[in-house]
Amino acid sequence: MLSNTKSWQPIKDDTLVKNIEYVVKQIARKLQSPHAVLGEPLPGTGSLASGALGIALFYAELDRQYPDEQWDVIAHHYLVHVQTGMNANTFHSLSLWTGLSGAPVVASILARDRGRYQNFIEKLHIVMQPAIDEFIDQARERIGNNVFMPDYDVIDGLAGIGRYLLSFKEHSACKKNLIKALSYTVQLTEDIQLDDRIVPGWHIKSEDQFLEIEQKQYPNGNFNLGISHGIAGPFALLSLALLAGVEVAGQREAIRKLCSYYDKWKAEDEYGPIWPERISFEEQICGQMRNNFAHNASWCYGEPSIARVLWLAGEALGDTQIQSLAQKVYLSLVQRSVESFGFDSPTFCHGYAGALWMIQRMMMNTGSDVLAAYRETLINQLLNSFNENTAYGFQDIELGQPQDHPGLLTGAAGVALVLLSCLSLDEPEWDCMFMLK
């Protein structure tokens, strides 16, 4: 049954709350020195993905929930690390996750209407807006010819940059570039002619895939469906902007077209809807999947993030049928065993923390008791993976190898932030970065 209760539902079990608080505070202590964790400001150490901005976001949430414990002081020290890096020219992109666009959003969340960081934020706007304007022009020139994933994606491209702009839509220069980014995104969804075939405009050539194995697997390129590097990111931006009252010509039609595209490529396993991570050029042309694929519960490429984007699209269009499909995905997710997720890692990007948070987020919209019960299963899964003898308490597992990462996307700060936010009495702001709200 669809619901839009908008009621936040924190964990209420006293024992679970105490266990979460213990783990979160342990990680907070392990990460409390920016210099010890990150060293000197170097390229990458200030980023939202793996550096100071992401860790500052964790302390901003600690400050929001425990305002008398001075966690904002540590968050400020991380922002100083970011500022020092900016002064040393260690930021080499405009992107949300690896560049400058994350900084004003994090600073604004930390400020919490207390008047802090306004000069810092405004200086960033002034520096960034001309460069973003140029970035959009360059990306638009490649539509129909040679689109790159970092043109449009969430991690490096205009979907992520657009989310920063949407957060500051009342700022005139940000609003102007937001309109321009949305118009670019609408154009990206239009069909193009490629090798005498009509295909979607977000086609990525073989030589422009990130990994050599992908270049070999897709000799004629592919169409990426994930939220981190695929069209789900721009799809989310279009819907979030419409929900925020920002609309450009063709935006509704583009959202509707993308809904239809995901519906077309939806498959079913024994539990419910699933999607491939990518569609090859050949599959696009013949209209059928040729490669096998399986359920994926991750944020970066999985069903929960795709379903969340579809939910936002249905909300933006006022289409309950689209929202029903999204809800079906989540109800099928909780029928699966935790082991079937195929995760080794507790982290957000491709681990249990991301799956947990997306379930928490959908609980706000649906009020589902089934999701609430499964949330506790995933929380316990995370708590069981905590090890205070490791550098940061949680380790990222890549190809079976544990790695100590402090940051937000694949590190301990991201796991701790999710656990902490499950205790919140009201809705947090930070997951706008993941295109989930």
Rg (CA), the chain: 21
* 81: number of Cβ within 10 Å: 24
Angle between helices 232-243 and 303-317 (to 10 degrees): 30
Q: Is 300 annotated as a binding residue?
A: yes
Rounded-to-integer distance, Cα 430 and Cα 265, Å: 31
H/E segment holding residue 30: helix 14-30
Q: Is 422 annotated as a binding residue?
A: no
Q: Among residues 73, 241, 253, which one has the least CA distance to residue 161?
A: 241
Side-chain half-sphere CA neighbours of 67 within 13 A:
6
Residue 50 Cα to chain centre, angstroms: 14
Side-chain half-sphere CA neighbours of 188 within 13 A:
35
Q: Are 54 and 407 in contact (CB under 8 A)?
A: yes
**Residue 267 forms beta bridges with which residues?**
274
Q: Is 349 annotated as a binding residue?
A: yes
* 237: number of Cβ within 10 Å: 27
Q: What is the DSSP string of 380-428?
A: HHHHHH--TTSSSS--EEETTEEE---SSSSSHHHHHHHHHHTT-SS--
Binding positions: 300, 349-350
Binding positions for Zn(2+): 300, 349-350
